[in-house]
Structure 1
Amino acid sequence: MSTTTAVSPELQLAWHDGALHLWALHRDDASVVHLVELIRTVDRVLGRHVSAAGTPSRIPVRLPDPTGTQPAPTLRIPLGSLADLAGGQRQAPTLTPTLQWFAAVTALAQSTVRATRLRPVLDVDGPIYVARWVPILEHSITAALDELHTLMPPACGIDDMAAFFVAVVDAMARRGLGELGWRPSPPLQARGTDYRAAQATFRALSSVGGSVLYRTDDLPALGDLARTFEAELDRAHGVPVVAPQLRLHLPIEADDPWVLTLELVDLDHPERWCAAADVIAHTPLALDIARQPQHLDRLRSRLETAAQMLGLHIDMLEPLALDHSTAVELSVEQVERFLTEAPGVLDELDVRLLGPEHLVRAKAAVHATATPKMDAPSSGRFSAGALVQWDATIDDTPIDDAQLERAAAAGNSLIHVNGRWVRLDAQQVKATLGRLHKQRKDHSELDVAGLMKLAAEAAAIEDGADAAVALRADGWIADLLAGLPDEQLEELREPDSFVGELRHYQRRGLSWMGFLARLGLGGCLADDMGLGKTATTLAHLATRPGPHLVVCPLSVVHNWYAEAARFTPQLQVAIHHGNERARGDTVAEQLVPSDIVVTTYGLLARDIDALGAVRWGTLVLDEAQNVKNHLTRAARAVRHIAADQKLALTGTPVENHLGELWSILDAVNPGLYGSATQFNDRYAKPIQRNGDPAATAALRTLTQPFILRRTKADKTLLPELPDKIEQVAWATLTKEQATMYQAVVDQLLADAQAESGMKRRGIVLAALTRLKQICNHPAHAAGDGSRLSGRSGKLARFDELIDDLLEVGEHALVFTQFREMGLLLQRHLGERLQMDAPFLHGGVSRTGRDAMVRRFQAGEGAPILLVSLKAGGTGLNLTTASQVIHYDRWWNPAVEDQATDRAWRLGQAHTVLVHKLVCEGTLEERISQLIDDKKQLANSVLGTGEQWLTELSTDALRSLVVLTPGSR
């Protein structure tokens, strides 16, 4: 009995009508296999999951010769199933030639995907957008495809090898992303149409069909994204990425036509461009843009598309589309209409319009040229004056009044003046003419106040406001308007009678004071503490006729007396203070023989009648922040003192808000800045609320000549002063602190929502104080004298800092704004380290204070000195300390800096490390950031107290005080 071994059908694969079809063939009789047996064969060779993904179909297949073609049942499978075929080849190496060939194509596609040699594209078919992955067809890939096409069995059915390979790469990329669980995360920040379009496109790139689901208002963004993808693919293939642009050429003669040419620009190298005529003629310019001759047709196609688009949307450009022109001639009237109507359309089409800058942006303005009056007196308030010549200009080029009048009367926007064309706004021309006539009538001569206000207006214009006025100046006026920058000041030597030698920067300060004095002007010397403002001022007073009045806090009265005795011993100094001071009707007569009279702000207000009766040579306001509130008695008294020059000395010209700057500067130059209300409306509100750049520039110009500020951080001033390194020492709340903190926040937000007015402000301020106390330590907030260790994250961080500095043998100052916290720290250091650390606060007597400072400076006793910020933040020299710890933050950075300067000053031999303790995720962190942001205000001289926080909305308050995740 004989047996016959059944031969398994041969599985075949073919490409037909854009789909893959599996079919099988009986090799013995060359007959096709019916559907059921086909499915069994697929399961055996490739796996059931392949047959499960297939759809029964029927196509004509090519059979071995001489049978030809005949219909055959098939399984239509998705392109992604080719990945299973590649895997099946590894498992069954005896695959039929068609399967082997498709497996080879798939392997090439997979390697292309793994090498990321592909890019996304967006295909547009009417309203349908399809996102696809497209390979970068480098030479190695195209060579491999050519070889595969040569080896392809006829039954495979591929006519366009490149198109098929693109489809396989797209399928492999989608399948790979799906298996990785990829989720689209487009690199866009905004949550608008751009973000939605990108997200929908990237989602489509990982889905099976590739269709982009979008909203109608996302269409412009999708179009932009499609162009971006296309450009990136071109770049990957070495194809030039170009865009159309239009260039407007000016006629040489007034009657010649205007010419508008179409051009292509290389987007990767914008300096490379060529005209449309170059592209048509294949000139070297066009070849340079194309990079390769084979790309010239691409430029031509891009040019034709642009011409059709421009002609469709702008009627004056129809010749570009209809006549295949490369340029269009326009009349003056057409150009005016084109420049009015076309720019908006061109923006939407993403086509640049190039032309002479003065034609596109020309502005008319009035220009002032200020020159010193020849007979201007050398002293007296604001008596130094200037002659001002007013002219009209177009882009800083003078224009004859008559020409401007004719343009205004005709209403023309394009004007041919002085041999060139300019484009102006007709209303602006009329406004400029009106302003020109008014300025000539009202301001042909100006005093210093008028000049500064004019300069402030010009500065605001330069920073972005509409053109109105520009200013040039000569002589001392130019120096004043330049802001009298420190580096450009002459170093004026101290007078012969001065005992000692000023530093180079002090000599420049002396020159600055003298310059202002010759103009009858005052100023604010705002150098950092420790830079010698007193010595500089005494040198200045020694050059001027007296008497001079120095007003200062009581704590520095003796310092002025001692410094005058040291530097200017020839000057007679009288102290107007105490029970033995001059009294009665003869006060003026008793004080006038003295060269310098020193008094306090309190006594100035009390004895204003007597002190105001004297005409002083110079009024010096030391620690001038004492007059930062113009409504106080002291500030009002200062304005009643008559003096040839008024000077303010302060390291902190602005502590809380810009109104304080006005108060100090108005005290030394009354009326220059307008009233407090005018200053607030014109400068303070726009700057503090909106960061208005024009108002900021105007205020900077108006104040710069009258504020001379140098900081110790400038190494050119004090090269011998060591560095200062500031850092935030982050702490984390303990669970106990976080619970207490959250309870206060919850109650605060409820109360703030329910209350208003002064009661609400009081609630907010009290809660903020309590939150800061909780951040310090629960025992500080409770005030119960309870256990300290292990309950505060900030105290634990403080301990780390103390241990580190003790280990290296350094001394430290520890500042706190709360006396209660200082006592707790003193107790803690005693309990933990058996250290008797002194605590300098407002309750310590003058004798006790001096003893503490003396012992600390001598290195006697504890290496830690606790200091109340208000009691010890000024007037102390504590250079033995090389580290400073701010245990809790005072929200005025100027006050913090002054406290730090107790250690960071001349006499310090070591780098000063400043640690600012901040509890992470609490209001301490957020207000710290807010204050850092506000430091740039008023040239980085702004600090702020807590009062402004009380006026925040409840929502803003919530974002300020709530605990962030991870801070509990």
Structure 2
Amino acid sequence: MLIAHAVWHGGALCLWAERPGGPGGADGPRWHPCATADFDGTSYAPFTADAPPITLDLLLPTVTGRPLLSSEASPEAGAEPRLQSWRVPARALAPLTAMALLGHTERAADVAAGDDLRFFALLAGIAAQLVRQGRVLPALLREDGEAVARWRPALVDPAFIQALAAAMPPACRAADGGRPAGRVLGEALGCLTDTVVRGVVPHPLLPPRRGGAAGPPPLAERWASALTGPDPRVLREPGDDLDGLSAELAAWAASAGPPGPLRTCFRLIEPDPAGDRDAWRIEFALQSTEDPSLYVPAATVWAGGAPFLPEAAEALLSGLGRALRLFPELAAALRGPAPAELRTDVTGAFRFLRRSAPLLAAAGFGVLLPRWGDRPRLGLKLTARTRPEPGAVTSSGFDLGTLLDFRWDLAIGDQPLTEEELTELARLKAPLVRLRGRWVELDEAQLEAALDFLRRPRTGAMSAGQVVRAAVHAGGDALPLLGVDADGPLADLLSGQAERRLTPIATPEGFKGTLRPYQERGLAWLAFMSSLGLGAIQADDMGLGKGVVTLALLVHERLHNPDVAPTLAVLPMSLVGNWQREAARFTPGLRVHVHHGGGRHRGKALAEAAARADLVLTTYGTAARDAALLAGITWERVVCDEAQALKNSGTLQARAVRSIPARTRIALTGTPVENHLTELWSIMEFANPGLLGPRRVFRERFAVPIEERGDRRALAELRRITGPFILRRLKTDSAIISDLPDKQEIKVYCNLTAEQASLYQATVDDMLAQIAEAGSSAARRGLVLATMARLKQVCNHPAQLLRDGSRLAGRSGKLERLEEICAQVVERGEKALAFTQYAEFGAMLQPYLAARLGCPVLWLHGGTPRRVRDELVRRFQEEAEPAVFLLSLKAAGTGLTLTAANHVVHIDRWWNPAVEDQATDRAFRIGQTRDVQVRKLICVGTLEERVEEMIERKKALAGSVVATGEDWLTRLSVAELREVLRLSPEAVSG
């Protein structure tokens, strides 16, 4: 395995690697014997493919004339390492590529990252965090004689920077004869921050100038334009005052950050407990940025008690002046010649605590708060106890109808408040009150909520179901729910740890097979949720056997209640045969009825067939058409497999499935959220109707704050609410499943033929000409989407775009590469799945590949009848001969088990990682015994390569998920579209 290293040189991240025990990329007396810049065949290859090769001289620890490898913990006994210059081949990465690579290091399984590379990955994360917090400032700099616009980190604690510099591995600065850590850190963090901002700031930053404006734009406009886009250079014009603009920006930056070794500090001091509750003080001081414990009050400064810095008084006044912008109330204290403190009341103290203090701290000022300043706020606590039945010590059973005794309390942390304390709280109506010897924050909304709380019944009896809903909907920003103290099964549920706290249910009698330990825990959880009459979302990773566990649940419950009503399973059409086969294999005692097709039962015949069955299988389409018929039957539960089919709550299909009544419901999905949080609401609305409230309220309370603002409090609240109803385990977790083989993803780069290149360029030219004349955003969007589709077809094969029935051989670089891969698979006696999003292209490929490979090639698409589909799956899984299975991505990307294949090829990209992963998991799932190789075909120098890079960049820079399909591409500017679509010279094969 390669060990990758990084060094900062020439303003860029340079990548090289060690190949322990093997020869490097060059030979010679000064060349590092194990160094290489060849990452071909690894997951790093896409990042280094276009990076220019360079040679570096690095100072590396050396023993007896040999450089120490990073894998060597220590040199031989008695040998003292010394620094010696070694020459290594490397790759200089462009800024955006560097950011994408640094976001990839933890996910790479085939390349180990050295300490130096991991340190730069840490810096990349810090840069992204600074940008998210808005802690960046624009600057005008000179680089190599050019004026450039750059984004720079701002308001960074100097102590933090010093700690980072001290933690920097020496190898990060080994180039150029060794450089100071602080200088390397400043250059690297500045470059990475600039790169992150350019990846997220809209381009262009300024609107176009109005027509008729004379002359070039002013310098400030040209500088602002250079702050976005790939080129930071500021176009120069005669008469530009670069020094003046640069000085103004530098002064602005200086006023926003710490003033050097000392910073102005503000300390909130609470009143004496026996004194006036309104006698709050905010003390001013100077504080060392290197040693925060060095603290000099302003009164001491004015008295001449800070001789260590003659300019102390000036520094203090300067800091107070800068702070005035963020803390306007400060003006009252600055009227005298020696301001030392600001006296305020309890309301002013609260405003400082909640509003001014965070702003001052973010701007680099020192802020000292009382120790109680970060303690839990006032909130609600719910206590619920099961009522013993008359004459019994304990209850004989538990469900959502069970009556519980409840009590609501106002609490600070885990300590409830007494009635007297509540009354005093209502009387004071103050934002900061002293309770039990400590100050507690109460804003106006909390005061109103607390007063309302006093007027409501706080004890009584309610059902377990009402307690669950109260726990979900109680609290909020005003009075958050601090905890629920319950007993029995309710405590297991509301803890969010029911799966771990419940006793696993062993494989039930009548189930032919053995459940894995995590499946036994899943079965116990489903049985527990069913006993409470609650819906569940079984969100285990794809391939962990969610359907098998559901079948085991049906067998388990019939052992205890043979007369239980049937279960209705609503499935994608492609899964009906799969469920039939798995029921016959694992649960042969279950009576299964399929409700689908033109000859399906209706009316009384359907009711009678359901009464004779334990499990009724139907499709989403049939359920939508027969919703009224199905609603007339008594069901124990409704199960929805691939429940992401319900993610759009307003569709006829989703509404129809939700309208079918049942005692309980189960949603099976490996991807409960693909694009938006409202998809989770829709699935939860099926499983537990009304639990999360109306969709509009859910959006306002959770979706918008989390998706648009990254609100951590809202995210934690959502997890608390939904956690009890969702079971999620990942197959990559060795604690869940340890015998699943590895998955290796490989990006395969293909060239275009001359014919493809000609068609590609003509398509781009035609689109750009039309888009310039587009009269509306809708027309523009349609043009972009149509062009994307045409260009992807060109990359596949000219015959797909032309639809002329012409020959396939020799006209597509991608087809050539697909043939080579399939031929190698057949030669090895292995099997492959090949996915395409275009049914017409699959229909063209199937006979062609069969003829070229000399063996049958199967083809499954959306129009394949269910019986034919099931037969194709059986042949591929059981027979030796069909080695290649072509599949339509949309029709076969979910639900199928095709573990006979250990190769997956994505011919054309859907550009949604979740959809592609679902397709890949047809082979990478339980039952797979071999390592799975996943190849993604990409035409080099085309939009396929650039969109792939943009997806990786988006992941690295903002952790965002690209929306389904190519919709997000329609929002690019014309210049960005031209860059994405342009045809590079290397696209055409020689």
TM-score between both structures, scaled by the size of structure 1: 0.63
3-state SS in 2 of match to 1:673: coil
Q: Deviations over 1:771-796 (max 9, x none)?
A: 22122222321223446566545345
1:539 counterpart SS class: helix
Partner of residue 896, structure 1: 916
Per-residue CA shift, 1:669-688, capped at 9, x if unaligned? Answer: 22223345555565556656
C-alpha change, 1:815 and 1:196, in structure 2 (3 Å) is closer
1:395-410 equivalences in 2 (<5 Å): none
1:436 corresponds to: 453
**Contact kept in structure 1, 2:381 and 2:411, CA below 8 Å:** no
1:97 corresponds to which residue? none
Determine the C-alpha separation between the residues in 1 that align with 2:703 and 2:331.
50
| Aligned counterpart, 2:565 | 547
Structure 1 residue 281: Cα displacement: 13
Q: Deviations over 1:432-467 (max 9, x none)?
A: 334534765899857647745754675xx6xxx676
Between the aligned partners of 2:856 and 2:886, the Cα distance in structure 1 is 7
Q: Which amino acid letter does the alignment assign opposite residue 780 of structure 1?
A: Q
> What's the offset of the Cα at 1:888?
0.7
Q: Distance in 2 between matches of 1:337 and 1:600?
A: 58
SS of residue matched to 1:784: coil
Question: For 1:38-70, what per-residue CA distance to the aligned partner results, in whole angstroms no more than 9, with x for missing partners?
Answer: xxxxxxxxxxxxxxxxxxxxxxxxxxxxxxxxx
Query: 2:408 touches 2:459 (CA, 8 Å); kept in 1?
Result: no
Equivalent residue number for residue 434 of structure 2: 416
Matched, 1:383 2:401: yes
Q: Name the aligned partner's letter for residue 453 of structure 2.
A: L
- 1:431/1:585 Cα in 2 relative to 1: closer, same or farther (>3 Å)? same
The answer as to 2:889 corresponding to 1:869 is yes
1:355 partner amino acid: L
Larger relative helix fraction: 1
Q: 1:825, CA displacement in angstroms?
A: 4.3
Q: Does 1:299 align with 2:299?
A: no
What is the 5 A alignment of 1:756-835? 763-786=783-806, 788=808, 791-795=811-815, 797-798=817-818, 801=821, 810-826=830-846, 829=849, 835=854
Per-residue deviation, 1:703: 3.1
Residues 280, 539 of structure 1: CA spacing in aligned structure 2 closer, same or farther, 3 A cutoff? same
**CA pair 254-550 structure 1, distance change in 2 beyond 3 A:** same
CA–CA distance in structure 1, aligned partners of residues 242 and 700 of structure 2: 56
Correspondence for 1:617 = 636
Matched, 1:879 2:899: yes
Contact 2:281 2:341 in 1 (8 A): yes
Residue equivalent to 2:275: 255
1:630-669 alignment to 2 at 5 Å? Answer: 630=649, 635-654=654-673, 657-669=676-688
CA distance in 2, matches of 1:739, 1:262: 71
Q: Give, in whole Å, the separation in 1 of the partners of 2:311 and 2:399.
A: 70
Identity %: 37
Deviations 1:590-649 (A, max 9, x none): 542443344444554555555433322233333444545555665444334332222233
Q: Quick check: 644-653 or 561-570, which moved more?
A: 561-570
**Residue 13 of structure 2: aligned partner:** none
Contact in 1 for aligned 2:541/2:670 (Cα 8 Å): yes
What amino acid sits opposite 1:500 in the alignment?
G
1:722 aligns with one of 741, 744, 767: 741
Equivalent positions of 1:574-613 (< 5 A) are 574-576=593-595, 584-585=603-604, 587-589=606-608, 591-605=610-624, 608=627, 610-613=629-632
C-alpha contact (below 8 Å) 1:892/1:944 kept by paired residues: yes
Query: Could you tell me whether the CA contact under 8 Å between 1:368 and 1:388 is conserved in 2?
Result: no
Aligned residues: 739
Q: 1:514 to 1:959 in 2, by over 3 A?
A: farther
Instruction: Work out whether 1:352 is the aligned partner of 2:360.
Output: no
State whether residues 365 and 432 of structure 1, in contact with CA within 8 Å, keep that contact through their aligned partners in structure 2: no
Q: Cα deviations across residues 155-186 of structure 1 (Å, max 9, x unaligned)?
A: xxxxxxxxxxxxxxxxxxxxxxxxxxxx9998
The equivalent of 1:474 in structure 2 is: 486
Q: Is contact 1:547-1:597 (8 Å) kept?
A: no
State the shift of 1:395 in Å.
6.8
Q: Do structure 1's residue 270 and structure 2's residue 301 form an aligned pair?
A: no
Question: In structure 2, the residue corresponding to 1:614 is in which secondary structure?
Answer: coil
Confirm whether residue 218 of structure 1 aligns to residue 249 of structure 2: yes
Instruction: Tell me if the contact between 1:244 and 1:262 (Cα under 8 Å) persists in the aligned partners.
Output: yes
Aligned to 1:963: 982
Determine which of 514, 536, 544 is the counterpart of 1:531: 544
Q: Aligned partner of 1:352: which letter?
A: G
Q: Is the 8 A contact 1:776 1:795 kept in 2?
A: yes
| Superposition map of 1:130-279 within 5 A | 189=194, 213-214=244-245, 217-218=248-249, 220-221=251-252, 223=254, 231=260, 241-255=261-275, 264-270=286-292
* SS of residue in 2 equivalent to 1:541: helix
Distance apart, 1:916 and its partner CA: 1.4
Q: Is the 8 A contact 2:268 2:280 kept in 1?
A: yes
Mapped contact 1:366–1:390 kept (Cα < 8 A): no
Contact 2:510 2:589 in 1 (8 A): yes
Letter of the 1:908 partner, please give it. Answer: Q
1:40 equivalent in structure 2: none
| Equivalent-residue separation in structure 2 for 1:574 and 1:851 (angstroms) | 19
CA shift for structure 1 position 504: 0.9
Shift of 1:523: 1.4
Instruction: Give 5+ residue unaligned stretches, structure 2.
Output: 1-141, 143-186, 199-204, 206-219, 227-233, 235-240, 325-329, 390-394
Aligned 8 A contact 2:843 2:859 in 1: no
**Residues 643 and 863 from structure 1, CA distance in 2 versus in 1: closer, same or farther, beyond 3 angstroms?**
closer
Distance 2:609 2:824 in 1: 59
Which residue of 1 is the match for residue 525 of structure 2? 512
Provide the C-alpha distance between the structure 2 equivalents of 1:664 and 1:781, rounded to a whole number of angstroms.
38
Q: Deviations over 1:338-369 (max 9, x none)?
A: 9599869977996423120435x678544132
Q: CA deviation at 1:721?
A: 1.6
Deviations 1:906-950 (A, max 9, x none): 3433211111123456544565577779999xx99x885438459
What code does the residue aligned with 1:817 have?
Answer: Q
The residue aligned with 2:210 is none
Verify the 8 A CA contact 1:495 1:539 in the aligned structure 2.
yes
Q: Note if contact 2:646-2:683 (Cα within 8 Å) is conserved in structure 1.
A: yes
Q: Please say if residues 830 and 837 of structure 1, whose CA atoms lie closer than 8 Å, have aligned partners that are also in contact.
A: yes
Measured at CA, do residues 269 and 467 of structure 1 come closer, stay the same or move farther in structure 2, by a change above 3 Å? farther
Paired with 2:955 and 2:406, the residues of 1 have a C-alpha distance of 37
Deviations 1:78-132 (A, max 9, x none): xxxxxxxxxxxxxxxxxxxxxxxxxxxxxxxxxxxxxxxxxxxxxxxxxxxxx9x
- 2:732 corresponds to which residue? 713
Question: Which amino acid in the other structure matches residue 505 of structure 1?
Answer: Y
The structure-2 alpha-carbon separation of the partners of 1:572 and 1:935, relative to structure 1 and needing over 3 Å to count, comes to farther
Question: Hey, what's the Cα distance between the residues in 2 that align with 1:862 and 1:588?
Answer: 42
In structure 1, the gaps of 5 or more residues are 1-130, 132-182, 204-209, 232-240, 283-295
The residue number in structure 1 matching 2:759 is 740
**Bigger mean CA offset, 528-537 vs 927-936:** 927-936
CA deviations 1:811-840 (Å, max 9, x no partner) are: 432221223333554566578x65445141
Does structure 1 retain, via aligned residues, the 8 Å contact 2:850–2:857? no
2-structure distance, mates of 1:761, 1:784: 28
The one-letter amino acid of 1:883's match is: H
- Change in 2 beyond 3 A, CA 1:568/1:962: closer
* Pairwise CA RMSD: 5.3
**How much does 1:883 deviate?**
1.8
- Specify whether residues 430 and 924 from structure 1 end up closer, same or farther in structure 2 by C-alpha distance, changes over 3 A only: same
TM-score by length of 2: 0.62
**Which secondary structure state, in structure 1, belongs to the residue aligned with residue 568 of structure 2?**
strand
Query: Corresponding residue for 1:371?
Result: 384
